[in-house]
Amino acid sequence: MGLLDGQKVVATKMGTTTLEGGMKIRNVLYVPNLNCSLISVSQLTDEAYCVVQFTNSLCVIQNRTSRMLIGLGERNRRALLFQRDST
């Protein structure tokens, strides 16, 4: 896969990550020396039963039924960054 700076990298592991607020996402990709996890939006909507909305600066994740906020990512250059839970 290609990074924002044009560098090519390979994911070497797959695992589970927890976003701030306790939302767990399975099957995220781990790339050595990359300080973030990569997720598939379609996989996220299937696993978390949620709706994902994008604006020019945010990504909002809400419960599909109640519309309760369950995740919020901020745009940093061309990527959306979510804080991981510290626990």
How far apart, in Å, do the first and last CA atoms of the chain sit?
A: 29
The pLDDT value recorded for residue 66 is 93
Per-residue burial over 17-42, b if 16 or more Cβ lie within 10 Å, else e, is: bebeeebebeebbebeeeeebebeee
The model's pLDDT over 1-55, given as tens digits with 9 standing for 90+, comes to: 677 678 888 888 888 877 666 777 888 888 887 776 677 788 788 878 889 998 8
The pLDDT value recorded for residue 47 is 79
Residue 84 clears pLDDT 60, i.e. is over it = no
Q: What is the pTM of this model?
A: 0.64
The pLDDT value recorded for residue 53 is 92
